[in-house]
Amino acid sequence: MRAVTAFARLSPPPRLVDWSILALVVAEVASGLLSFTVGTPDGWYVLWFHRVAGITLAFLLCLKLYRVRNRIRYGEHWERSTALSILTAVVAIATLATGIAWALGAVSVESRVLYWTVLSVHVGLGLALVPLVLAHVSTRFSVPRRSDFADRREAIRYAGLFAAGALVVRGQETAAETFDTSGSKRRFTGSKPVRGEGNGSFPITSWVADDPDPIDPEAWTLSVTGLVERPVELGYGEIDTESEERALLDCTSGWYTVQEWQGVRVGDLLDSVGVSGEAEWVRFVSVTGYRWSLPVEEARDALLATHVGGERLAHGHGAPLRLVAPGRRGFQWVKWVERVEIREENDPAQWLVTLISGFD
């Protein structure tokens, strides 16, 4: 108990705690979503910040809950906003708990809530937290004062909290490296390995709602159009399957797999149609409308795969043809590709399209 009191005495002033919780929630959602764009280890710091700020937020939340404990326990001054406050606290704790459980390896990729991994539940809770925290703050609005920020002691306290968060994260990593023999090693993105080869060895995942009917390869064609000299439309039999590449597919729902992919190198496809000088982007479009664009130079190294692990692609994995984009997160590996468009412009609307394609 004395330790708790000492901890509470270290606490920054209540108004400052409240505003920093809000700021950290916003920073967590921003860094969490930004982490979805990170596919190669040079973006490690986005995840590092997310983890450290998450632990710092957990400290601050403890301080805050300790401060308001009597109000909760005795139900003093129950108002309509009290229910909102409690809901906000529950969702905040659940967000932290799912994030920490994931990082600690307390749950695996196979632990599902309905269809979702615990990491996806974490993301959903995190998104729900934003409107809750904003509503909660607006019912108990107290404007921050200059003196809240001007105090050097407070700045030092906050730096200390953040440093403690960084120590916790480092300690967890060291402990995992030392004791974790269960093979639950995460990538720097937080994703956990799914082992095996071929169609049956990794999950079928749609970003949101894409679920087309199986495609008859005989009735399907691939068109290559846009800023090219000789647009073409290829049948399944005309797709070259000579290029092979071992590549890592890392889904934002928290799993990754390394597979041997086989198909046509996009660079070879581009050379066969003759790309014009203004070309900057290559857009891959699915039969469902789902699409993603890559810069031309990067696209050249990508593969349009017909096979995985020596087997013809299964429908769920994008047959007859799916994009394999090493270094990109899974949601950018467009499945069921039917159009390749060479363009001058990038395509910001792709973000929205991937979220809504598949809904009628």
Of residues 145 through 204, those in contact with ligand MTE by CB under 6 A are: 202-204
Q: 234-238 long-range contacts, Cβ below 8 Å, gap at least 24?
A: 236/306, 236/320
DSSP string, 340-355: EEEESS--TTHHHHHH
Q: Does 251 bind Mo ion (CB under 5 A)?
A: yes
Pick between residue 49 and residue 290 the one whose CB is nearest to ligand HEM. 49
Q: Does 54 bind ligand HEM (CB under 6 A)?
A: yes
Q: How far is the CB of 280 from ligand HEM (least distance, A)?
A: 29
Of residues 125 through 144, those in contact with ligand HEM by CB under 6 A are: 126-127, 129
3-class DSSP state of 304: strand
Closest residue to bound ligand HEM by CB: 32
Pick between residue 21 and residue 321 the one whose CB is nearest to ligand HEM. 21
Q: How far is the CB of 9 from ligand HEM (least distance, A)?
A: 25
The Cα 20–Cα 60 span in angstroms is: 8
Of residues 81 through 120, those in contact with ligand HEM by CB under 6 A are: 92, 95-96, 99-100, 102-103, 119
Q: H-helix or E-strand containing 311? A: strand 311-312
Q: How far is the CB of 112 from ligand MTE (least distance, A)?
A: 15
Residues 6+ apart with CB under 8 A from 261: 244, 245, 246, 247, 303, 305, 307, 308, 324
Contact string (CB under 5 A) for Mo ion, positions 199-218, x = contact: ------x-------------
Contact string (CB under 6 A) for ligand HEM, positions 27-46, x = contact: -xx--xx-x-----------
Pick between residue 186 and residue 291 the one whose CB is nearest to ligand HEM. 186
Residues 6+ apart with CB under 8 A from 251: 191, 203, 205, 329, 330, 331
The Cα 275–Cα 51 span in angstroms is: 43
3-class DSSP state of 360: coil
Pick between residue 16 and residue 251 the one whose CB is nearest to Mo ion. 251
Identified binder of ligand HEM from the candidate list 16, 39, 50, 165, rule CB under 6 A = 50
The Cα 87–Cα 74 span in angstroms is: 17
Q: What is the DSSP letter of 182?
A: S
Q: What is the DSSP letter of 214?
A: P
Of residues 251 through 290, those in contact with ligand MTE by CB under 6 A are: 251, 286, 288, 290
Residues that bind ligand HEM in the complex, under the rule CB under 6 A: 25, 28-29, 32-33, 35, 47, 50-51, 54-55, 57, 92, 95-96, 99-100, 102-103, 119, 122-123, 126-127, 129, 169, 186, 190
